[in-house]
Each structure stands twice: as C-alpha cells, then as structure tokens.
Structure 1
Amino acid sequence: MNKQEILTLTKSKVTDKIRYFENLIAETRASNNDTKSSMGDKYETGREMLQQEINNLQRQLNEVLNQQEMLRKITADSSEKVQHGALVKTDKGLFYIAASIGEIVAENHKIMTVSIESPLVKAMFGKKIGDTFTINNINQNIEDIW
C-alpha cells in the first residue's frame, strides 16, 4: 500500500472541506448583510438566526482546521504497531489512523479514516500484526500494518 498516496488523498479531502466551510460562511455572511433593514424586529430575529448559523459553521471549520494541523504531523513512514499515521488491515477492513474524515479509495481499496480518539483506535492502539482486539463485542484480528 502506498501510504504517501493515502496521506495525500486525506489531506486533499480536508482541504476541500475547509474550502467548503469557508465558502458557506462567506455566503451566509453575505445573506446576513442582505437582511439589514429598518422594517422592525422580525428582521433582527432573522439576522440573529443567520449569525448563529455562521457561528456553527465557524465551529465546524475550526474542527477541520485542527484535523489539517494533525495531518501535517503525520509522515508516510511505515509502522510496526498501531499508532498515529498507521494504516491497519484487520479482518473487518482497512483503517487509516489520521483524522476522522470518512472513507477514501486508494489502489481500489476502501479505507476508513479514523481519529486517534475514536473508540476503535483506542481498542487497537499499540497492537501489532497478529494481535486481536474487541470493540462492541466484535473481535478483530490485525492482519497487516503499514
């Protein structure tokens, strides 16, 4: 498995999410400015709702920016145990321990990207090839680590 390709795909997906949230925030701010009017309180309520939406989007953007920062610290070096930046194959699937951004496809394999804080990673952290772990009463065997 080419970990550099997987890392690049993951970084690209995070960058796309950042652009998405930045654009959404800009559009929401523009619509907030469009509602300025001297027509009364109902417009103030609408503007407040838009401001709350902007705050929510900003919070989500900050989470993705934190993911991007975590990805900057990851290298494509191979791993001998489950750790941050490892690509782990279990009998249930492929997992890339980086940031929780969902599924990516590399080399015709579906890979689930997961955060180091996820319960799955906590259950397998530090394990090596051949080790087993249990999550949600399901046993998984570690078949390979890159």
Structure 2
Amino acid sequence: MKEQLFTACKDYLEERINRIQSSLEDLNEALQNETKSSAGDKYETSREMINTEVNKLSVQLQQFKKLQATLEMARIRKDSTTVQLGSAVKTSAANYFLAIPAGEINSGKEKFYAIGVNSPVAQALMGKAVSENFSFNGKENKILDIF
C-alpha cells in the first residue's frame, strides 16, 4: 500500500511539473512572437506581463522540484516504529502519509491524506508510536498503525 501512496504522490508532482513546463513553453513562444509595434509602450507592457508570468511559473517549478527531492527522501527512509518522513499513519481520525502536500489519495478501500512534515497535523504526529495519543484541532486522537 505504501508504494501506491508514493506512486500517487509522484504522479501528482509529474502532472504539475508537466503543466508548468507546458505553460512556460507557451509563454516563451508568445514572447518570441511578440513583435514591436508602433505603440512601444504597449509592446513593453505586454512583454513585461509575459516575463512576470514566466518568473512566477519558474518559482513554482522549482518548488515542485524540491518536493520531488523530499518525496525521494521519504521513499528511501527505513520503516520505523515512530512517525517520521515517509510514514503512513492510521489514526482514529484519519489516515496520513507524511511526504509531500498532495491532498487526498484513495488507496484501495482506504483514504489517505498526503501531507508535508511541516503541516500542523504532521507536527502533532512526529515521533509518536502506535497506541499513543496526539491532539489536533482540540481533539484527542489515537495512532492505530504506522507503516
């Protein structure tokens, strides 16, 4: 099951990265096709808007590439009896996969939430073991399984 979670996160990242790279290619093409018109200010404004969007997408691309590195670190981590990066955790409230913030993942009959280790719920879980309680959103929950 853990491999399914990793695969779902990897697919999530690849889809986002491909979408950003496609948008960057489209913007670069638009930038090359932008011809200087007699209205110079309009030309400069248009080019600047395209450059601003390229810069925003470039930052997003770098963030997703960092998430890929984090996911790889989570994948190579050894299983542990306590919650850490790469752990899949079943709790009395919900199931979590501590790797990257990729949202809800359906794995067979079970639903997991892929979360980053800096998220509040991950911070509440870190270092805890099976049968330990943790508090999140003012509610006490219990760790049922870690794998």
Output the TM-score relative to the length of structure 2. 0.90
Partner of 1:70: 70
Give the secondary structure class of the aligned counterpart of 1:37: coil
Please tell me whether the aligned partners of residues 77 and 85 of structure 2 are also in contact (alpha carbons under 8 angstroms): no
Please tell me whether the aligned partners of residues 3 and 76 of structure 1 are also in contact (alpha carbons under 8 angstroms): no
Offset, 1:76: 7.3
Partner of 2:91: 90
List gaps (5 residues or longer) in structure 2. Answer: none
Distance in 1, matches of 2:78 and 2:3, equals 8
List gaps (5 residues or longer) in structure 1. Answer: none
Confirm whether residue 24 of structure 1 aligns to residue 23 of structure 2. Answer: yes
Give the secondary structure class of the aligned counterpart of 1:55: helix
Would you say how many aligned residue pairs link Structure 1 and Structure 2? 145
Higher mean alpha-carbon deviation, 116-125 vs 29-38, is at 29-38
Give the secondary structure class of the aligned counterpart of 1:105: strand
Give the secondary structure class of the aligned counterpart of 1:112: strand
Distance in 1, matches of 2:111 and 2:54, equals 34
Offset, 1:77: 4.8
Give the secondary structure class of the aligned counterpart of 1:84: coil
Output the TM-score relative to the length of structure 1. 0.91
Give the secondary structure class of the aligned counterpart of 1:82: coil
Distance in 2, matches of 1:106 and 1:126, equals 24
Please tell me whether the aligned partners of residues 95 and 112 of structure 2 are also in contact (alpha carbons under 8 angstroms): yes
User: Aligned ranges for residues 44-123 of structure 1 at < 5 Å?
Assistant: 44-73=44-73, 74-75=75-76, 77-123=78-124
Distance in 2, matches of 1:94 and 1:24, equals 34
Offset, 1:34: 2.4
Distance in 1, matches of 2:139 and 2:44, equals 52
Distance in 2, matches of 1:122 and 1:19, equals 31
Same amino acid, percent of matched pairs? 30
